[in-house]
Amino acid sequence: MGIEKGTVFFVGAGPGDPKLITLKGLECIQIADVIVYDRLANPALLEHARKDAEIIYVGKHPSHHTIPQEQINEIIVAKALEGKTVTRLKGGDPCVFGRVGEEALELVEHGISYEIVPGVTAGIAVPAYAGIPVTHRKVATTFAMVTGHLCQDDTIPEEKWNALATGIDTVAFYMGMSNIEFLCGQLVRHGRAPQTPVAVVSWGTTSLQRTVIGTLENIARKVAEEKVPNPAIIVVGEVVRLREKLEWIVEKQFSGA
């Protein structure tokens, strides 16, 4: 690649399995002077970095302290202005709940050039590894990716719930585990059948992958009983039934730990 110094590459690392990165994404890791990476980008990918590359972790620390977004922006801008090639590695696809918009806007303000290298997003890949294609010609022709993380300022308005409940066949909730009871309840309150199948897939595409199957009515209780850990994708819709025939990975059982 002919690279201008000081370029930032927003790279999708894929959902977990380190082989699910694109060739272009891998190349961006190999050439970077600086790699800024998140908690959900598999650290195994860093083995491809140059020996002298500077590696900066900006994910959650064991203390649960997170680096504020402004500080991450500052780090990226500062390194790029030093003339460094920066690879900003994010889990899944950088544009799907990945704050690429916020970080890229900051670069635009500083006149820094950047590229976006899409990745394999969890909402599609994680169900796939659990034997659930998110669309199927006869079962589901529409699919939505939804944030289940409802802070006060981004609550899903009622009319969107109506649309999600009755207008979309497959719904994948990201960041929804702490709200799963509410999310499933909202779909039912807005017209989705309580018996609609739901899959919760934790640590999808990794050796820790675990799937729990239920319905809108009982999945919240099931995941609580199984103590399903984050990260997890909640997939709602008839496509979940396809897993009965299409499950192609043998998962270990939950230890209940």
Among 85, 121, 170, 179, the residue binding ligand SAH under the rule CB under 6 A is: 121
98 binds ligand SAH (CB under 6 A): yes
CA distance 234 to 180: 8
In angstroms, what is the minimal distance from the CB of 251 to ligand SAH? 12
For the question of residue 5 being annotated catalytic, the response is no
Of 221, 238, 228, 187, which Cα lies nearest the Cα of 204? Answer: 228
In angstroms, what is the minimal distance from the CB of 24 to ligand SAH? 16
In angstroms, what is the minimal distance from the CB of 16 to ligand SAH? 4
For the question of residue 60 being annotated catalytic, the response is yes
Residue 64, token pair as written in the block? 């649960």
170 binds ligand SAH (CB under 6 A): no
Residue 147, token pair as written in the block? 């944030």
Nearer to ligand SAH, 33 or 216 (CB): 216
203 binds ligand SAH (CB under 6 A): yes
For the question of residue 175 being annotated catalytic, the response is yes
Q: Which stretch binds ligand SAH (CB under 6 A): 22-30, 55-63, 224-232, 239-247?
A: 224-232
204 binds ligand SAH (CB under 6 A): yes
Among 87, 179, 205, 211, the residue binding ligand SAH under the rule CB under 6 A is: 205
Which residue's beta carbon is nearest to the bound ligand SAH?
Answer: 92
Nearer to ligand SAH, 14 or 197 (CB): 14
Beta strands 34-37; 143-147: pairing state: unpaired
**Which parts of the chain fold into alpha helices (H)?**
23-31, 69-81, 100-109, 122-129, 158-167, 180-189, 219-226, 243-246
DSSP 8-state class, residue 256: -
Instruction: Return the amino acid letter for 162.
Output: N
Q: Which stretch binds ligand SAH (CB under 6 A): 28-36, 69-77, 120-128, 190-198?
A: 120-128
- Residues 25-44 within binding reach of ligand SAH (CB under 6 A): 40
**Which parts of 59-217 fold into alpha helices (H)?**
69-81, 100-109, 122-129, 158-167, 180-189
Report angle CA 30, 23, 33 to the nearest 5 degrees.
20
Among 28, 201, 220, 223, the residue binding ligand SAH under the rule CB under 6 A is: 201
Among 84, 88, 90, 210, the residue binding ligand SAH under the rule CB under 6 A is: 90
CA distance 58 to 247: 35
Among 16, 131, 197, 237, the residue binding ligand SAH under the rule CB under 6 A is: 16
Contacts of 208-214 spanning 24+ positions with Cβ under 8 A: 209/16, 209/126, 209/129, 209/130, 209/249, 209/251, 210/251, 210/252, 210/254, 211/130, 211/243, 211/251, 212/254, 213/240, 213/243
Q: How many residues bind ligand SAH (CB under 6 A)?
A: 25
CB 130 within 8 A of CB 20: no
In angstroms, what is the minimal distance from the CB of 52 to ligand SAH? 28
Residues annotated catalytic, as ranges: 38, 60, 175
